[in-house]
Structure 1
Amino acid sequence: RGGPRGRGRGRGRGRGRGKEDQKEWVPVTKLGRLVREGKIDKLESIYLFSLPIKEFEIIDFFLGAALNDE
């Protein structure tokens, strides 16, 4: 039953994950580009206008070293 269709499903996942942290952030959204260019200087400005944050790098940009994993 099923034959070889179900094989190899999980292959290739998780490759090169450690290298991704070293890459420089390339913004995808307009908000990301504004943050990167320095036109938005505070995280509060984003929340003031209720802008959706779709990139985690935006939070990393503002909080940086203050953010720790538990």
Structure 2
Amino acid sequence: ASGKMDGRICIDPFQYDWDYAPGSLLVAEAGGVVANIGSSDYDYKNHEFIVANSTIHRELKNLIDQFSHEI
């Protein structure tokens, strides 16, 4: 919401649900997009997600789709 970060890809199996749920709500309320990788929805129990504004979210999702076979 402060505009200090354009987007983030998070793949972190070692955190807890409560580490991400509050921030994802703040981003969504500010008009950002939070969705799990490979989905258009967000499940706070899945710690693989993209958070960004709608334009950058789409670009990050496309990059993940393009290069996911190399990971």
Report which of the two has the higher share of strand.
Answer: 2
Q: Tell me the TM-score normalized by structure 2.
A: 0.25
Report which of the two has the higher share of helix.
Answer: 1
Higher RCO by CA contacts (8 Å cutoff, separation 6 or greater):
2
Q: Tell me the TM-score normalized by structure 1.
A: 0.25
Greater Cα radius of gyration, structure 1 or 2: 1
